[in-house]
Amino acid sequence: MDYTVASVDTALSLLSLVGECPGLGVTELAQRAGLNKSRAFRLLATLEQHRWVVREGSPVTYVLGAQALVLGVAGHEQVNLVKVAHRHLQALNRALNENIQLRVRDDLESLCVARVESTHELRVHGVVGNRRPLYVGASGRVLLAFASDDVRAQVLGRPRKRFTAGTLIERDELAAELLNVRRQDCAVSFGELAPEAVSVAVPVRDASGEVIASLSASGPSSRMTRALLPDISSRLSACAAEISAALGYQTPVPEVLSA
């Protein structure tokens, strides 16, 4: 039985859209949400009354309000993965001075749940809450490679959008890359979402050994050169191992074969 309340479902979808695409007006928000303008306006007004969104500028656009910040701070403290990973992400960011992020799988998308920015003026821009298809980028491919067979079949069986010339969309090429990711416990992407952007990602595991997140470093190809990728990958793997251990994961001890 479906217990979904349609109006609440629509309002939450609209709130998520404001969070993902701040600065849009009611007309464009209504179009993206598949609503008529009148209904979108009433829902936004209700969200504004409860401080979930605020109106800015002229013409009026919408951004998240103070209540969203309160919930975000509470979520940051309460979500164990983010809480455990926070200091490790900070330490890795200090070591590499590149963007460090933690992403999880949400259905057929990857979702950024934590991020620490590089101090370089030239960097890959992004925000917590950003979503993208699982097949795009190193982080998503780590999550896709270690997802269930059903999830991989869904992604491989659907049309895939090309974001740049570097996006992997061919089924056979993507399937082969997912096998490599599983073997190597690492994924690398070159210019798949933005030209000249490089990303390296590794898996994070929970106490059961399940891959629950991907940890990545990203930056411009002028700094994240191919020669530096092995060192970056090694640092990421060490950091992911620390986060996984803090979540209860115990690295398997290799068996010693007797003579």
**What is the pTM assigned to this prediction?**
0.72
Which pLDDT does position 257 carry in this prediction? 56
Instruction: Return the number of other C-beta atoms located less than 10 Å from residue 27's C-beta.
Output: 12
Q: Which amino acid is at 39?
A: R
What residues contact residue 166 under an 8 Å CB cut-off, 6+ apart? 189, 190, 191, 192, 195
Which pLDDT does position 1 carry in this prediction? 61
Instruction: In whole angstroms, give the CA distance from residue 205 to residue 59.
Output: 46
Which pLDDT does position 128 carry in this prediction? 83
Which pLDDT does position 236 carry in this prediction? 97
SS3 category, 252? coil
| Tokens encoding 122 | 């030239």
Contact between 46 and 65 under an 8 Å Cβ cutoff? The reply is no
pLDDT in tens, 93-142: 999 999 999 999 988 999 888 999 998 888 777 778 888 999 999 999 99
Confidence tier at 58 by pLDDT (50, 70, 90): confident
pLDDT in tens, 184-218: 999 999 999 888 899 999 999 988 899 999 999 99
Average pLDDT over residues 29-40: 93
**Residue 3 predicted with pLDDT over 80:** no
pLDDT in tens, 63-91: 998 888 778 777 665 578 888 999 999 99
Q: Which amino acid is at 10?
A: T
Average pLDDT over residues 44-57: 93
Min mean pLDDT across 57-66, 68-77, 152-161, 170-179 is at: 68-77
Which pLDDT does position 256 carry in this prediction? 58
Average pLDDT over residues 47-54: 94
**Mean pLDDT of the chain, nearest integer:** 90
**Residue 20 predicted with pLDDT over 90:** no
SS3 category, 121? coil
Which pLDDT does position 205 carry in this prediction? 94
Which pLDDT does position 255 carry in this prediction? 60
